[in-house]
Amino acid sequence: MNKIIDLIPLSVPNISGNEMNYVKECLETGWISSAGKYVNEFENMVADYVGAKYGIATVNGTSALHISLILAGVKKDDYVIVSNLTFVASANSISYCGANPIFIDADPEDWQMDLNILENFLENKTYIDEKGELILKSDKKRIKTIMPVHIQGNIFNFERFKKICLKYNLTFIEDAAEALGSKFKGQSAGTFGELGVFSFNGNKIISTGGGGVIITNDEIKAKKAKHITTTAKVDPMLYYHDMVGYNYRLVNILSAIGVAQMEQLPNFIKKKQYIGNYYKDKLINVGDIKFQEINDNVDHNNWLFTIKTSKQKELLKFLNSNKIISRPFWMPMNQLPMYSRFLYVNQNDNSRLVHDNCLSIPCSTNITNQELDFVISKIKYFFDKCT
């Protein structure tokens, strides 16, 4: 029987596995805080899933990015190259280090950092000094690392990106916050660079309420990450801390939710794929709707289903007023007041184009076919009325 459709959320947590049991166990045993078996279990599950040696759980993806940049050696006044079209946390984590972002515009089709623009910038505006460090010509400051963001779980041509990094002596960190489960040539997002980061906030493919994980294959960096995220405590009895650390460790009770969520991840990915295919199948010839271009060799996790249309503003208003929660892309970094003074490398400002034309539509892993059909029927109705 069809149920009455109330509000259809955009992308909400799906709590349908062992979450209650594991949380209950934490509550009953008192292990709710920063120590407890679920923290390690969650870290190992994420690391194993993506085929990496180590995972370090943090309170959120933003803190995981912050610590990764510290571990990559980013210091005050360094530059870090980053995608212009991203969630603000990518840029904020750079600011937390006292470093400065250089923003690279997005590709208008796949929405990832545009590699042509990146390469052209590195070729013409930077040089490698006698110490082997990459330097920005205009002010002679060091570009310490680059942090591409896998926007909406898509991945650019990683082989090409790695060649560029090699040529310019650049290490890289992946902001894979949205890309758990995505792969390039069979290799998981988050495992390409020296460090990768996932987020588990409420809208991600799995959620711990709030949470993140740093991924690395480097044992020294893994140990350091755990040390810095646990206040750099050396001796728990004497409260001896050997550096300025952070209280960033994910607590056991949230890790317990993470373990239950990880158990369901393969099914969540299947459902996201189903939703993506369902929408594409039904919306392909509706109005001027276009979809994100998925790059060759990419297995996409279909995290947040997003469409592109010149009627974005009107459609957003129409869907939200019909209790179908839909959202535009984040405001590009160069348009935010605290980041507008930084270098933004672009040719046609495609970040603005993507921002002004794209909207994400409901795609929670617990969405029903009836709800999907309802969203589709409303979108069709909107375009019928428009044309």
Q: What is the smallest separation between the CB atom of 11 and ligand PLP, expressed in angstroms?
A: 11
Instruction: Please state the closest distance from residue 367 (CB atom) to ligand PLP, in A.
Output: 20
6-14, 20-28, 174-182, 222-230 -> range binding ligand PLP (CB under 6 A): 174-182
Looking from the CA of 162 toward its CB, the CA atoms found within 13 Å total 9
41 binds ligand PLP (CB under 6 A): no
Min. distance of Cβ 139 from ligand PLP in angstroms?
Answer: 27
The residue number whose beta carbon is nearest to ligand PLP equals: 61
Quick one: which segment of 21-29, 82-90, 130-138, 270-278 binds ligand PLP (CB under 6 A)? 82-90
- Kind and range of the H or E run holding 55: strand 54-58
* Residue from the set 52, 80, 82, 89 that interacts with ligand PLP by CB under 6 A: 89
In this structure, how many other beta carbons lie within 10 angstroms of the beta carbon of residue 352?
18
User: Which of 14, 84, 90, 229 touches ligand PLP by CB under 6 A?
Assistant: 90
Q: Specify the residue, 102 or 205, whose C-beta has the smaller distance to ligand PLP.
A: 205
Q: Shortest approach of ligand PLP to residue 125 CB, angstroms?
A: 25
**Residue 14 is a binding residue for ligand PLP (CB under 6 A):** no
Task: Provide the CB-side half-sphere exposure for 86 (13 A, CA).
Answer: 30
- In 233-387 the beta strands, taken as DSSP E runs, fall at 233-235, 240-241, 290-291, 298-299, 306-308, 327-328, 344-345, 358-360
In 72-216 the beta strands, taken as DSSP E runs, fall at: 79-83, 100-104, 126-128, 134-136, 143-147, 171-175, 183-184, 187-188, 195-199, 212-216
Instruction: Give Cβ neighbours of residue 138 (< 8 Å, ≥ 6 apart).
Output: 125
User: Per rule CB under 6 A, is residue 87 in the interface with ligand PLP?
Assistant: yes
Closer to ligand PLP by Cβ: residue 43 or 371: 43
Which position among 60, 191, 216, 357 is part of the footprint of ligand PLP (CB under 6 A)?
A: 60
Token code pair at residue 365: 């892993």
For ligand PLP, the binding residue among 11, 14, 84, 86 (CB under 6 A) is 86
Question: In angstroms, rounded to a whole number, what is the distance separating the alpha carbons of residues 46 and 215?
Answer: 8
Q: Which of 72, 81, 143, 177 binds ligand PLP (CB under 6 A)?
A: 177
Smallest separation (angstroms) from ligand PLP to the CB of 204: 7
The DSSP output letter for 290 is: E
* DSSP H helical ranges for 144-251: 158-167, 219-229
> Rounded to the nearest 5°, which phi and psi values hold at 172?
-140, 150
Binding site for ligand PLP (CB under 6 A): 60-62, 86-87, 89-90, 149, 175, 177-178, 199, 201, 212
